[in-house]
Structure 1
Amino acid sequence: MADRRVSIYVEDLADGVAVLRGNQFRTDHPFRATRQLFGPTVLDVEGKDHSTRKRNWLQDFSRRALASESYRSIIQRSMAEGFADARDHDDLMRLAVYVPNRVILLLLRCEDIDPMKHHERVRPAIAYLETNVKGPGLAEAKAYLRSALFKRDNGLFGGLEPREREAELSLLAVAGSETTTVAMKALLAFWAEDHDGFVRECEDEGVDAFILRLLRRDPPLGLATRYCSGEARVGETTFQKGDIVHVDLVKSNGGCPMSNGSASSDLTFGQGKHSCPGHLLAKAELTLLTERLMAMNRADIVLERTAAAPRPANFRHPSGIALRFAGEARSVA
Structure 2
Amino acid sequence: MSVTGTAYSPDLTSDEFQTNPWPIYQRLRNTDPVHYSAQASAFLVVKHADVAAALSDRRLISDFPMRASRRLYGPTVLDSEGQQHREMRQLFAPMFGVSGVKRWREEILVPVVEEVLDAVGDATEVDFAEQIAVAVPYGVVTRLLGLPPGDAPWIRPRVKPLAGVIDLPPAPLDDARAAKKELADYWEHLLAERVTGERPTLIDLLVPPGQAVDPAQLSTAILFLLAGTETSVATISTVMHTVLAHGIEPDALLDDRFRTQVLRETLRWEPPTHSVLRYAATSMEIRGVRIPRRAALLLSLGSANRDEEAFADPDTWRPERTETRNLTFGAGPHTCLGIQLAMAEFDVLFERMARRYGRLRPGAPLAPLRGHVFRAPEHLRLAWQRRERIA
TM-score by length of 2: 0.72
Which residue of 1 is the match for residue 108 of structure 2? 74
Q: Which amino acid aligns with 1:266?
A: N
Q: Is residue 176 of structure 2 the alignment partner of residue 138 of structure 1?
A: yes
Q: How does 1:87-102 map to 2 (within 5 A)?
A: 87=121, 90-94=126-130, 95-102=132-139
Q: Which amino acid aligns with 1:281?
A: L
More moved, 188-197 vs 175-184: 188-197
- Pick the aligned partner of 2:264 from 212, 217, 238: 212
CA contact (8 A) 1:209 1:261 kept: no
Deviation at 1:66, TM superposition (A): 1.0
CA contact (8 A) 2:284 2:292 kept: yes
Q: How does 1:9-48 map to 2 (within 5 A)?
A: 9-27=44-62, 32-46=67-81, 48=83
With over 3 angstroms needed to count, the CA separation of the structure-2 counterparts of 1:135 and 1:238, relative to structure 1, is closer
Which residue of 1 is the match for residue 201 of structure 2? 155
Is there any run of 5+ residues in structure 1 with no aligned partner, and where? none
With over 3 angstroms needed to count, the CA separation of the structure-2 counterparts of 1:51 and 1:62, relative to structure 1, is same
Between the aligned partners of 1:66 and 1:208, the Cα distance in structure 2 is 16
With over 3 angstroms needed to count, the CA separation of the structure-2 counterparts of 1:290 and 1:90, relative to structure 1, is closer
Q: Is residue 348 of structure 2 the alignment partner of residue 288 of structure 1?
A: yes
More moved, 88-97 vs 282-291: 88-97
Deviation at 1:27, TM superposition (A): 1.5
TM-score by length of 1: 0.83
- Pick the aligned partner of 1:275 from 325, 335, 345: 335
For the residue of structure 2 that corresponds to 1:206, the secondary structure is helix
Between the aligned partners of 2:220 and 2:365, the Cα distance in structure 1 is 39
Q: Which amino acid aligns with 1:224?
A: V
Q: Is residue 368 of structure 2 the alignment partner of residue 313 of structure 1?
A: no
Which residue of 1 is the match for residue 143 of structure 2? 106
More moved, 18-27 vs 206-215: 206-215
Between the aligned partners of 2:206 and 2:128, the Cα distance in structure 1 is 38
Q: Which amino acid aligns with 1:26?
A: I
- Pick the aligned partner of 1:231 from 263, 283, 287: 283
Q: How does 1:185-264 map to 2 (within 5 A)?
A: 185-196=237-248, 203=255, 205-255=257-307, 256-257=310-311, 263=324
Q: Which amino acid aligns with 2:370?
A: R
Between the aligned partners of 1:299 and 1:123, the Cα distance in structure 2 is 32
Q: Which protein is bigger by CA-based radius of gyration? A: 2
Deviation at 1:28, TM superposition (A): 6.6
CA deviations over 1:271-323 (Å, ceiling 9, x no partner): 11121111111111101122123334453654202665x61111112225322
Deviation at 1:75, TM superposition (A): 0.9
Deviation at 1:121, TM superposition (A): 2.3
With over 3 angstroms needed to count, the CA separation of the structure-2 counterparts of 1:242 and 1:31, relative to structure 1, is closer
CA contact (8 A) 2:272 2:376 kept: yes
Larger helix fraction of residues: 1
- Pick the aligned partner of 1:57 from 92, 114, 121: 92
With over 3 angstroms needed to count, the CA separation of the structure-2 counterparts of 1:302 and 1:158, relative to structure 1, is closer
For the residue of structure 2 that corresponds to 1:195, the secondary structure is coil
With over 3 angstroms needed to count, the CA separation of the structure-2 counterparts of 1:282 and 1:307, relative to structure 1, is closer
Query: How big is the alpha-carbon RMSD for the aligned residues of Structure 1 and Structure 2?
Result: 3.3
Between the aligned partners of 2:291 and 2:203, the Cα distance in structure 1 is 37
Between the aligned partners of 1:198 and 1:253, the Cα distance in structure 2 is 27
More moved, 85-94 vs 19-28: 85-94
Q: Which amino acid aligns with 1:155?
A: T
With over 3 angstroms needed to count, the CA separation of the structure-2 counterparts of 1:217 and 1:16, relative to structure 1, is same
Count how many residue pairs are aligned between Structure 1 and Structure 2.
Answer: 323
Q: Which amino acid aligns with 2:359?
A: A
Identity value in percent: 24
Between the aligned partners of 1:271 and 1:292, the Cα distance in structure 2 is 30
Between the aligned partners of 1:171 and 1:56, the Cα distance in structure 2 is 15
Deviation at 1:221, TM superposition (A): 0.6
For the residue of structure 2 that corresponds to 1:9, the secondary structure is strand
With over 3 angstroms needed to count, the CA separation of the structure-2 counterparts of 1:141 and 1:27, relative to structure 1, is same
Q: Which amino acid aligns with 1:289?
A: L
For the residue of structure 1 that corresponds to 2:79, the secondary structure is coil
With over 3 angstroms needed to count, the CA separation of the structure-2 counterparts of 1:49 and 1:26, relative to structure 1, is same
With over 3 angstroms needed to count, the CA separation of the structure-2 counterparts of 1:189 and 1:112, relative to structure 1, is closer
Deviation at 1:96, TM superposition (A): 0.5
